[in-house]
Amino acid sequence: MSQLEDQIIECLSGPDYRPIDSGALSKKLGITKKGMPKFREALDNLLSAGKIREGKQGRLQVKVSAGFVTGTVKKIASGAGFVIPNDSPAGAKNLDVYVSSRDLGDAQTGDEVLVRILSKTRSGGQRCGRVEKVLERSSNVFVGTYLEANGQGFVRVDGSAFQADIHVGDPGAKGAMADDKVVIEMLRFPSADRMGQAVLTEVLGQRGDPGVDTKTVVFSLGLPHEFSEEVLEDARLQADHFDETNFGDRLDLTKETIVTIDPATARDFDDAISLRKDKRGHWQLAVHIADVAHFVPVGGPLDRSAVERGTSVYLPRHVIPMLPEVISNGLASLQEGQVRYTKSVFIEFDANGRPQGAEVANTVIKVSKRFAYEQVMPIIEDPKSVEGKVSAKVVQLLQRMYQLSMMLRRHRFEDGALQMGIPEVEIDFDDEGNVTGAHERHHDQSHEIIEEFMLAANIAVAQILSARDIPFLRRVHGTPDELRQKAFKDFCNGLGYELDKFQSRKAIQGLISGLTGKPEERAINFALLRTMKQAEYSPDDMPHYALNEDDYCHFTSPIRRYPDLTIHRLIGDLAAGRKPKIASMPDLIQLGKSCSVNERRAEKAERELKRIKLLRYLEDKVGQEMDAFITGVESFGMFCQGIKVPAEGLVHISSLTDDFYTFNQASRSLVGDRSKNEYRLGDAVKVLIVNVDVDRRQLDLRIVPGKEKRSQRSPKASPKQRTSKKPPGKGPSFLEGKPKSKGKSSGKRRGKKR
């Protein structure tokens, strides 16, 4: 090893070392700018040799010695836990390490730890271990409910991570009163024989008050939610410098007929479409995306803030934007009749809708007409109804958009793209933010028009960059593990639907498309969803499995996703004839991991706040019945989600008293020994609300006595059913073209989620 490699190993092996990324490590080692190439080379050598590894968000660790394992803790109700090894294959539960409560120390769920493997094993041969060191805490900040006892202050942390209350010292810190929601920072984590201790840092408000639930999620997940004055000043400066009369060397498209299609409540509009047919009958599609890169210089305050956030966060009735609103809702919003800077991708399709080539340009546009989704199809279907209200050019544009988009959609599914058939449910709120119910999200062909064009733009841009061997952040979606694919096949076969070609996208989509309206539709869609890997950002040359595309990136929403902004910068340089400023592979890898983690954090925040709101709605409904369907089956019971109100709760297996039920791993079902009654993924059930605990995020359910589900399976599917070629309709797809729209603060705000 080189001297620099020795230095890196020595630093990472220190007793006080806590995992840091390569940037922080270079600073710790005093690496100069001139020495960075050698430093990166040394890191690459050590990684390739397996002497060090990258953990969460690119943080570096020494490869552990034999007899040790690094992994993530998952505690259980008894206080013991399991460590899921970092390098274990997906779903390989037999490799998890059991750690008793006394051997767990103060490690908590989500912490990354170093575990010593012990000589003893559990029944069944499962390995046992002892936590030697907490490498990285999942979090040091928590939110909970303040209480007082014996003249001391305590906090009952939300969720089930801590079994006992956390001591926060003398009562009344920060003016906290009983039942207040508060933020604490842990000083000493609890263990089996030691109470946890923390400092109370902020009072959020009285439990259950409007707005406190949102603050609870924001603080518990560490979401950056306020812009510094430096960032706001940078945004104001960009606004001051914007001159809509100075086009520079941009392509002037202000005379073109261009439209936007967004949710009715949207406030920012970051994509627009123009389309024409040439004399050959070829389609000339132009997708225009707000030029956010023009207003966010690399390395400036706005850029640093955007990197930290990674994405906008869409919570019920509240949005935490990636960029200040002077940019996201102003300068970079493609408002009707306003001159705006854009980056445009021009894609040529032949008369049958097959791509022939693409190019990009820095452009200026002026949107001719803004439409809400609900307005589009009535115009396309009955153009005479808007005579005198909408120009003939705009009507013709909408009709052409519909024609081309439906061609593209048909080709995508013929070529093997996948789309699920699970309808998306949106929660309804009153003016005070209380849940009033839920509805299935509106999704018609007007949404599909935009979806297809955004996908086409993302693919075209990725192909342009790939053809020039320019490293970029791809949106990758890995091929499912073969074991999971085979398990999905077995699951389908068990329901009477043959899927011999279980690794064929066309076969899978044919099966899904033929299930509409059948009892097994929801079950098979849920099972397929659980087969898939998560999509992520990475510079690795990997395809997008569900879209069946070799080259794919996110280009269409730089207002709300940082990876899109990095693509815009590369495309902008190419369009201007400049050599793109290319980031190093280690930096791109690290950025991709950070953006992926932030994206998942944002999704978790949305799920968490929805869950809180739904549980509050059900608090006074204990004892009531509701129709539900099974979303998960485990050995200890089944998870069920309400149909009218999409709250998910647990029916514990001990409450199924009509029979003795056994868990069937292959079919993901609970089967009665005597009656052969079967509870399976996707089944409809009627449940009783038994207990609601908002703070613990728990909803306990029970099958309504006398109304237990009796499985009624359809006869085996016919070959025609199994190979249906009808293009899929609505439902959450694996589409990646357009994320949720940032609209007004209302329960019906969001639209385009991809």
Name the band, by pLDDT with cuts 50, 70 and 90, for residue 753.
very low
Residues 670, 664 contacting (CB under 8 angstroms): yes
The whole-number pLDDT of residue 434 equals 83
Is the pLDDT confidence value at 489 over 80? yes
* Residue partners of 330: CB distance under 8 A and separation at least 6: 239
* In a shared domain, residues 155 and 123: no
- DSSP one-letter code for 266: B
The whole-number pLDDT of residue 94 equals 62
Mean pLDDT of the chain: 88
The first and second tokens of residue 73, run together, are: 């803790």
Q: Is residue 567 part of a domain?
A: no
Q: Which segments within 3-62 are labelled E, that is strand?
A: 52-54, 60-62
The pLDDT of 134-142, averaged and rounded, is: 91
Q: Is residue 263 part of a domain?
A: no
Most confident of 199-213, 265-279, 493-507, 686-700: 686-700
Share of the chain above pLDDT 90, in %: 61
When mean pLDDT is compared across 53-57, 371-375, 512-516, 663-667, the lowest value belongs to 53-57
Q: Which segments within 1-80 are labelled E, that is strand?
A: 52-54, 60-62, 68-75
Residues 240 and 231: their CA atoms lie apart, in Å, by 14
Q: Identify the domain boundary among 62, 81, 101.
A: 62
Angle CA 101–104–107, to nearest 5: 125
538-556 confidence digits (pLDDT tens):
999 999 999 999 999 999 9
* In a shared domain, residues 127 and 152: no
SS3 label, residue 647: coil
* In a shared domain, residues 626 and 695: yes
The closest of 119, 19, 12 to 67, measured between CA atoms, is 119
58-82 confidence digits (pLDDT tens):
788 877 777 888 899 999 878 899 9
* In a shared domain, residues 49 and 86: no
CATH number for the domain spanning 97: value is 2.40.50.140
CATH number for the domain spanning 58: value is 1.10.10.10
The pLDDT of 398-412, averaged and rounded, is: 97
The pLDDT of 426-440, averaged and rounded, is: 84
Residue 115 belongs to what domain range? 68-136
* In a shared domain, residues 627 and 706: yes
* In a shared domain, residues 689 and 664: yes
Task: List for the chain the helix, strand, coil content (%; round to 5).
Answer: 30, 30, 40
Residues 4 and 7: their CA atoms lie apart, in Å, by 5
SS3 label, residue 118: strand
Number of domains in the chain: 5
When mean pLDDT is compared across 294-303, 356-365, 710-719, the lowest value belongs to 710-719
**Other beta carbons within 10 Å of 183:** 22
Residues 398 and 383: their CA atoms lie apart, in Å, by 10
* In a shared domain, residues 73 and 42: no
Angle CA 50–56–60, to nearest 5: 40
Residues 142, 186 contacting (CB under 8 angstroms): yes
Question: How far from the centroid of its chain's Cα atoms is residue 85's Cα?
Answer: 23
The whole-number pLDDT of residue 713 equals 46
Name the band, by pLDDT with cuts 50, 70 and 90, for residue 97.
very high
The pLDDT of 453-464, averaged and rounded, is: 98
Output the furthest CA–CA distance in the chain (Å, rounded). Answer: 86
The whole-number pLDDT of residue 19 equals 82
* In a shared domain, residues 102 and 129: yes
Q: Is residue 487 part of a domain?
A: yes
* In a shared domain, residues 132 and 53: no
* Residue partners of 597: CB distance under 8 A and separation at least 6: 56, 57, 310
The first and second tokens of residue 26, run together, are: 């270079």
Is the pLDDT confidence value at 735 over 70? no
Name the band, by pLDDT with cuts 50, 70 and 90, for residue 229.
very high
Is the pLDDT confidence value at 740 over 50? no
102-123 confidence digits (pLDDT tens):
999 999 999 999 899 998 888 7
Is the pLDDT confidence value at 515 over 50? yes
The whole-number pLDDT of residue 754 equals 42
* In a shared domain, residues 101 and 180: no
Is the pLDDT confidence value at 743 over 50? no
Half-sphere exposure in the Cβ direction for 596 (13 Å, CA): 20
* 172 Rama sector, left if φ>0, alpha if ψ -120 to 50, beta otherwise: left
